[in-house]
Structure 1
């Protein structure tokens, strides 16, 4: 156990209050542009897709419209697929992998599935390259009733009409070195708990649903991504991020009880991708490509099971 409480905000052993959250917020600086990086790309998709604004985040002087991209010729007789990216705003390939999939591959599925893609769930955090939202809340623990995260609540409302109709949901994430150097220590400090050291896996892995793991579905995605980038091995304890590996590159969480985005619907096939962008063996483009490969493999597998 790491008992060195060196995080610069708060008092060791005491959860943060409003003053500490305000201090933390004041230290978060804009490092990139949601409008330039994301909204401009969504605008270029309008010729081929329906683009809808499903919400807006008003954080002081900062305003972020939230957009989802839908298949233009939506057909209720077809299976439907949800792709979410940027639930954690700092996880870059989740955002740009979703956009790349739309631009380069969505046409392959026209007339076969309905697509609903929310490329950047957390734009405030995207701009500041952070895991949390403006209130120091993790959106990916907030997909629950009366959500404390406005980002999560907006997705819950967007998906509600499809909650029992989705066939596939792929939630695109990354595990980065800053998880260990910044975000886990910040979480411990925020909650007034000791900081537990961990190990960042080198490679791609998946988080399935322990209540409905769908191992063959997860394996199909792993097989496809392995052609693009390397799959994370287990650590010395046979685990990935402290969780037993159930198959090469696959762990399972109870996604609904943890309030994870992958549990926002009752999709038959659901998974959370985890790309490792800090690996010396992976480029940013490979990370985007891995996310795209995961989405395509997920849809292809699910359609094959439909006969």
Structure 2
């Protein structure tokens, strides 16, 4: 299903830009352009700075697959209505729509038929992955966490899994240094407390599922070329959210925003300056 980029995204991002420009705490950057049928689409990064010099930093993204729109709308809604309550504790880098040409066409792939979320490799084929990697390098930040918002297409076959076995609830991927540094189970608990349906079957595709959390340690699984893999070098914890597309759009957006807000609440009191986090970060940086 195609979408009008200006109506569904451009108008809202322009209002967000004006809102933050008035307060002089943010800028909305065009980090690069992509094209479809001679129409140019900018890739936007919304960078919002906390007035607190000791604030943690967070990297949030959505829309790397253009047929998973709820994350895009969720980040726009978060920037419009909720981000202010977290600015004492966090500065943000938000990329609301990583794949504009896929979003317009309702396609997983970009205009060049590349799956951007398999392109975060040493040399990226897509402009989108190259732009995002360049932004992350220039920011040179240690993010408390990164979160990439995704959806599960419940109307399509995934690998060799029958359609009827596609997950019909929310679940969360997490990458952290070890089990002691996991935070995903707390996010899942918040989702359940909010009445959001969490997918608890023991397997999600071929991955073990711990009551809605699919966890794996850092320093491995660097072969697929996903943004989750790439951002590990800049973030202590990396999350990927998943909502099923069989849910109503409003419910999917609510679940995505709830997951982000739950993570922000959870990480307020997490410290990274010493101990296991600093040791692990230094070890990872040498690889």
Q: Quick check: 1:242 aligned with 2:209?
A: no
Q: CA deviation at 1:258?
A: 2.0
Task: Tell me, in whole angstroms, the C-alpha distance in 2 between the residues paired with 1:215 and 1:240.
Answer: 22
Paired residue total: 258
1:283 alignment partner in structure 2: 248
Q: CA deviation at 1:197?
A: 3.2
Q: Indicate the structure whose relative CO is greater, using CA pairs within 8 Å and at least 6 residues apart.
A: 1
Kept in 1: contact 2:176–2:182 (CA 8 A): no
Query: Which one of the candidate residues 130, 140, 143 is aligned to 2:120?
Result: 143
1:216-235 residue pairs with structure 2 within 5 A?
216-226=182-192, 227-234=194-201
* Cα offsets for 1:89-145 (capped at 9, x unmatched): 111111011111111110011132111110000011111111111222211111122
Q: Quick check: 1:274 aligned with 2:239?
A: no
Q: CA deviation at 1:277?
A: 2.5
1:85-234 residue pairs with structure 2 within 5 A?
85-180=62-157, 184=158, 196-198=160-162, 199-209=165-175, 212=178, 216-226=182-192, 227-234=194-201
Larger radius of gyration: 1
CA RMSD, aligned part only? 2.2
Kept in 2: contact 1:255–1:261 (CA 8 A): no
Task: Tell me, in whole angstroms, the C-alpha distance in 1 between the residues paired with 2:140 and 2:229.
Answer: 10
* Cα offsets for 1:184-210 (capped at 9, x unmatched): 4xxxxxxxxxx6234211100011227
1:300 alignment partner in structure 2: 265
Which structure shows the higher strand fraction? Answer: 2
Cα separation, partners in 2 of 1:230 and 1:206, compared to 1, 3 Å: same
For the residue of structure 2 that corresponds to 1:208, the secondary structure is strand
Kept in 1: contact 2:198–2:212 (CA 8 A): yes
More divergent stretch after superposition (196-205 vs 209-218): 209-218
Task: Tell me, in whole angstroms, the C-alpha distance in 2 between the residues paired with 1:165 and 1:108.
Answer: 22
For the residue of structure 2 that corresponds to 1:95, the secondary structure is helix
Structure 2: state its 5+ residue gaps.
21-25, 273-287
Q: CA deviation at 1:149?
A: 2.0
Structure 1: state its 5+ residue gaps.
1-29, 185-194
